[in-house]
Amino acid sequence: EKRLMSEVASAQLKEEERAEEGGGEEVQTEGLKAAALKIQDALVVTVIFDAKVYSDATERMLGLISKDETVMEESTSCGWEKSVVFERSGPSGGVGVYCHVTMEGEDDGVAFTPDDAYPLVISFHTKESHTARIGLQAAWSEYRSANTSKQRNSAMKKAQRLASAVKVPTGARTVQGPKWLRSAMENVPEEATSFHTQPDILGLEEVEVETELGTPV
């Protein structure tokens, strides 16, 4: 909520300046929509794979995303290859792969939300890393509410212990995002990419998908 308010305030300031030059209320509404699109992690869809197939399955799922014309990748980050850090928006690094996307949407009747797009994050975890991720979020909350440097250091050390205790799946540190995969596959014959339409070969029908709130999807 604080991040949304910050983005909205920034957008309002810029659009007020533009409105003075012409455009009025319509210009301000467009600015609020742009701000709403920046809060991509308001909705997080978590995909959980068995550690034995994690890297291959994650990259193949990202390959499916790269071929979906209704999905626009904004960025993809591999937490496995980075140490845990606390950013303004939350913990970063340590575990998991996070694909920030915007999907085609429809007008929800709210003036300041985008009429044709839904921002969200698709995160890929093992059961162990997903549990750790929840712990990282809790440690970040402790860090944000801390009153002393000792408390902040304690929260950071807790996060580092949680991340270091998770076994990194083989190949996880080199998982690539949809943009890279799309570029890499451009010159590969269609028959060589048929696996993208056969996710069941990795047992993907058993994948667990849930939202950040824990509601199965």
**What's residue 33's pLDDT?**
54
Q: Which helix (H) or strand (E) holds 85?
A: strand 85-87
pTM metric for this prediction = 0.67
DSSP letter at 216 equals B
39: CB partners within 8 A, 6+ apart: 3, 4, 7, 119
Q: How far apart are CA 155 and CA 102, in angstroms?
A: 32
Contact 142, 161 (CB under 8 A): no
- CA 11, 27, 74, 210: dihedral to nearest 10 degrees? 80
Rg, the chain, Cα only: 20
Neighbouring C-beta atoms of residue 88, cutoff 10 Å? 8
Residues of the chain with pLDDT under 50: 24, 27, 184-185, 188-189, 191-207, 209, 211-217
**What's residue 73's pLDDT?**
86
**What's residue 140's pLDDT?**
94
Residue labelled with tokens 């970040």: 140
